[in-house]
């Protein structure tokens, strides 16, 4: 069984996926895969730097993720080009990681689970949900982005209502870490039971 986990920026997807991983569940994280593909010296990172120029390079062969994010979220054509280069490679790596997983069920964590069509790879969808105002404040505090930048990122993701309509399960992450852990544990037990039924 493959369970998809998604949520808007700043919703707490990583905290939730970490809690599943702590229970022995394999987490296939689309963001981690994308970062690996863009790691210094990889063919893709060199291709991206060659395309966008040294303005997105923090050092020789190292992509300045903040500069790249600013560039692509201010320029729809730049974002489209970057996605055309990264999404097929990310999908290929995801498929391989899902195939290699040996845990009781597998979690596919992806901020663009629904937008990218990755939802078709999963049996259930968990949405980590918080109000949009909390998404904004958490992301500004965590990443040092401006509100305008966060709003552009949020606009590039499907809206909260669309995500919730696709959800089989919802983790309400307005509270503290203990409350998040309790919800993860409940879902974990539910998936284990569904797996053995």
- SS3 assignment, position 17: helix
Only one residue has tokens 């970057």, namely: 82
Q: Provide CB contacts within 8 A for 23, sequence distance 6+.
A: 184, 185, 188
- Sequence-ordered list of residues with C-beta below 8 angstroms from that of 113, at least 6 positions apart, any chain: 4, 5, 6, 30, 119, 122, 125
Give the helix/strand (H/E) hosting 1.
Answer: none
Q: Is 6 annotated as a binding residue?
A: no
Distance CA 172, CA 89 (A): 32
Question: And the tokens for 188?
Answer: 């974990």
Band (pLDDT 50/70/90 cuts) for residue 10 is: confident
Pairwise CA distance, residues 87 & 67, whole Å:
19
pLDDT tens for residues 51-110?
Answer: 998 888 887 778 988 888 888 888 889 999 999 999 999 999 999 999 999 999 999 999
Q: What is the DSSP string of 42-89?
A: -HHHHHHHHHH-GGGEEETTEE-HHHHHHHHHH-HHHHHHHHHHHHHH
**pTM for this one?**
0.86
Per-residue HEC secondary structure of 96-154 comes to HHHHHCCCCCEEEECCCCCCCCHHHHCCEEEEEECCHHHHHHHHHHHHCCCHHHHHHHH
Alpha-carbon gap, residue 169 to 75, rounded angstroms: 34
Q: pLDDT tens digit string along 19-32?
A: 999 999 999 999 99
- Domain spans of the chain, in order of start: 2-196
Domain 2-196 has CATH 3.40.50.300: yes
Rounded CA separation 91/97 (Å)? 10
Is 14 annotated as belonging to a binding site?
A: yes
Residue 11 annotated as binding? Answer: yes
Please check if 13 is assigned to a binding site: yes
Predicted local distance difference test score (pLDDT) of residue 52 = 92
In the chain, what is the greatest distance between 2 CA atoms, to the nearest angstrom? 55
Report the relative pairing of strands 26-29 and 106-109 from DSSP bridges. parallel
- Across the chain, mean pLDDT equals 90
């Amino acid at each position: 069984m493959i369970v998809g986990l998604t949520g808007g920026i700043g919703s707490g997807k990583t905290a939730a996926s970490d809690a599943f991983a702590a229970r022995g569940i394999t987490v296939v994280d689309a963001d981690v895969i994308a970062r690996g593909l863009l790691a210094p010296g990889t063919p893709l990172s060199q291709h991206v730097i060659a395309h966008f120029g040294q303005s997105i390079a923090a050092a020789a062969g190292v992509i300045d993720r903040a500069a790249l994010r600013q560039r692509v979220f201010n320029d729809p054509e730049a974002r489209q080009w970057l996605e055309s280069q990264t999404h097929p490679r990310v999908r290929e790596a995801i498929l391989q990681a899902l195939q290699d997983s040996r845990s009781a069920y597998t979690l596919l964590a992806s901020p663009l689970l629904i937008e990218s069509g990755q939802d078709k790879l999963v049996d259930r969808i968990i949405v980590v949900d918080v109000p949009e105002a909390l998404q904004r404040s958490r992301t500004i505090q965590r990443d040092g982005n401006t509100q305008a930048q966060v709003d552009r990122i949020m606009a590039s993701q499907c809206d909260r209502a669309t995500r919730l309509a696709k959800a089989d399960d919802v983790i309400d992450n307005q509270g503290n870490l203990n409350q998040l852990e309790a919800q993860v544990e409940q879902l974990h037990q539910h998936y284990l039971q569904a797996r053995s039924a």
